[in-house]
Amino acid sequence: MYRFLFVFVLSTLFVSVDVFSADIKLTKREDSSAYSIGFNVGKSILNQLQHDSLPFNIKYVLTGIEDGLLQKKPAISEDKVQQFVAELQQQLTQKRQKEQERREKELQKQSEDNLKKAKEFLEENKKKEDINVTQSGLQYKVLKLGTGKHPKATSMVKVHYKGTLLDGTVFDESYSRGNQPAEFALDKVIRGFQEGLMLMAEGSKFILYIPPDIGYGNRPLGKIPPNSLLIFEVELFEVKDQ
């Protein structure tokens, strides 16, 4: 928060004292520019106050800024001003540390729960007759077997795919992009996806069940929580060797 107040003081040095009046007239381009700077900085201060859940009366914030800019005698001593600012900074630091610790514990629990769910699912899934299991633990189901060439680890491939989590959440897919297949190099994707594509021939359609250790592991990524099992439905259209 304090850095926003500092930026505000610097930027408003270019603004006429009249900006504190509610009835200003912006007839010059430089006045409009100055007002725009002040407006954006004001929004930044408000956003920071709201982000830190500080129930401050904006009237007093603005009065303090005005008194400081116009070098008025402060309503409390400057020693007290610095004391309150230091106390506030300390409180915010402690609050953010606690929030960070809370998030880390939450992610750790989520990671452990997801890993357990992934193992349980894979253990049951591999019992099905149409499920194949590789040495890495990757599981896959053949929906359609093509007759074209297989990609190598460094091949460029053209595919359609849909990635979902165990609860059915779609975290990524290519079908909504104007029905245009995605193209990428296999050495740029996660290990489980790379391995699964290398098992496919052009014209194939598989479902891949990727364990966390050959997926994104315990790293949360966008819609993907830590240690998530990833399920991909993939169609391989073309292989372009590098």
pLDDT at 111: 95
pLDDT at residue 10 above 50? no
Percent of the chain at pLDDT > 70 equals 90
Between residues 196 and 60, the one the model is more confident about: 196
Q: How confident is the model at residue 242 (pLDDT cuts 50, 70, 90)?
A: low
pLDDT at 23: 67
Give the pLDDT confidence of 123-170 residue by residue, as tens digits: 999 999 999 999 999 999 999 999 999 999 999 999 999 999 999 999
Instruction: Flag the least confident range among 51-60, 111-120, 147-156.
Output: 51-60
Question: What's this model's pTM, rounded to 2 decimal places?
Answer: 0.69
pLDDT at residue 8 above 60? no
Q: Which string of DSSP letters, residue by residue, matches the chain?
A: -HHHHHHHHHHHTTS-GGGGSSS----SHHHHHHHHHHHHHHHHHHHHHHHTT----HHHHHHHHHHHHTTPPPSS-HHHHHHHHHHHHHHHHHHHHHHHHHHHHHHHHHHHHHHHHHHHHHHHHTTSTT-EE-TTS-EEEEEE---SPPP-TT-EEEEEEEEE-TT--EEEESTTTTTPPEEEEGGGS-HHHHHHHHTPPTT-EEEEEE-GGGTTTT--BTTB-TT--EEEEEEEEEEE--
